[in-house]
Amino acid sequence: MKKKYPPEFKAKVALEALKGDKTLSELASMFEVHPSQITTWKQQALEALPEAFSKKKDHEEADRAEVEERLYGEIGRLKIELDWLKKKQAQLAEMRRKK
């Protein structure tokens, strides 16, 4: 059965491997993980590291905020239309009763 590790644990192990203070064997014993798994997590950390310093994250957040603003505007417009339709429906129902 394959064991699953939480991202926090993987990050901790990868950080220790990146420090280079201990050998893979020492880290494997310390964290009870196979050395090849530590190597994989270390490589993943190295690949993801440049993204932490890129402006792409800021652009994605700005795009998200723009989409969110547009969607909230659409929700507001639809709510106004719904309220108007309910009002008109009530007026029509009242007119039919009077006939």
Give per-residue pLDDT as tens, 22-70: 999 999 999 999 999 999 999 999 998 887 777 776 778 888 899 999 9
Q: Tell me the average pLDDT across 60-85.
A: 94
The overall average pLDDT reported for the chain is 91
Residues 17 and 46 in one domain: yes
Residues 45 and 63 in one domain: no
The shares of helix, strand and coil residues in the chain, as percent rounded to the nearest 5, are: 85, 0, 15
Instruction: Give the residue numbers spanning the domain of 34.
Output: 1-53
C-alpha torsion 15→16→18→23, nearest 10 = -160
% of the chain exceeding 70 in pLDDT: 99
Domain count, the chain: 2
Model pTM score: 0.54
C-alpha torsion 55→60→61→66, nearest 10 = 130
Residues 64 and 78 in one domain: yes
Residues 14 and 62 in one domain: no
d(CA 25, CA 92): 80
**Which helix (H) or strand (E) is 70 found in, with range?**
helix 56-98
